[in-house]
Structure 1
Amino acid sequence: MRPLLPLVAACALLSGCNGVPTAFNQDPVYDQAILVHSGGPLPYLLMGTAVQWNEDYAVTVKHIPYVPGAVYQGQGDVQFFRHKANGVPVWRTYRPGEAVTAVGYNSLYMSVKGSGHALPAMVRLDTKEGNVMYGTHDGPTAKGMSGGPVFAEDGKVVGITVAFLTRSDLAAIKRPDLADQPRVSIFMPYAQIKREWNRYLAQAKPVASETSQVASR
């Protein structure tokens, strides 16, 4: 049984908003966001968003617990789960200052988006995560958007939404340099997601035994 504290933290991360994301009906790019729910002992209690990573797996945040099909939870706030798809978005590294749009589902299950610009600052949210660094932008995000894609203007995905930081949060992590921003939304950049994926592949790859190595010579 998992401890209660991570579940409480999940509720906190998924709650509230730092602005007013706008609703949209259909969009050939933004419609790549995937609605996800918690499963297991908390079926449909928590919801969030995901995006396809490759043809066989999608990616979301790990503070959504018990996601069906989950295969790996990363060092940072990210997890991969089995999810087949015919189409996959193009991913790339973000550039500070470029326009970005966070996309996801709100608590009313409406498709919403929040636009802003990628900030040059990166933040470390938890020292227990080691050297995991998150990107920042000044667009609005809301409950339910966690795990959803962050798009650049060219339609490519540059990361996934993780959370947003209040002024008290910024003080707690000693980042006064961000205090003057109208809002600070946090996303895990593509480069970090790729590192986490490579960790999963390294863990999942079977190690050949000495016997099989000798037999193959």
Structure 2
Amino acid sequence: MRFRDLYEEVVAQVPEPPVRFELLRTLINQRHHGVGEIETKAISYPVRNHQAHFVELGKDRTSPYEEEFVIAEIRYCDGLDEYPNERRFALTKELMHVFDTEEEKTNTRARFVQLMTEIQNTPLPQHASAMYQSETATKWMAAIILCPKPIRQKVLEPYRKGELKEAEVASRLQLPRAFIPDIMDDYYDRAFETLMAK
């Protein structure tokens, strides 16, 4: 399954918002080659935050004759449970890491430290690793899959005319308000075309 396939499945099944995380996870668990199971797990942190991360726990197979598949987990701060729209966006963004290439995966301690350093320093585009670039790509994948074009189209014109405010669009789409300017911007179409080709 490519991102495009997941998107087309969502458009076919979800005519009105919200696009549920559970649907996305089920589709990927059932249809994405090499992925067998993805679970979510809330973690209590000493200081609450809005973080989540995708972790490959290992590989398994149903029999010695079958191909291996990945077992993964999305761990998130339990503080997100108080903000369902942010939790859904964070979980979906992390779920999109199933589409990462080998060079985009943060699957060792050294690679994780490298990514954290890049996130801290915000490198110039020519210095950014594939892992860092994947963080931006997964944000856009989450935005596009949670607000597919047919759903976006229903709120785009009223938003641009000022008939709908950011908070109203966020409420209708059940998305964090912080992402509404990005989703309603013309760049959405450019990101869409790029990700559909991935």
- TM-score (ref. length: structure 2): 0.25
Q: Which has the higher strand share?
A: 1
Q: Which has the higher helix share?
A: 2
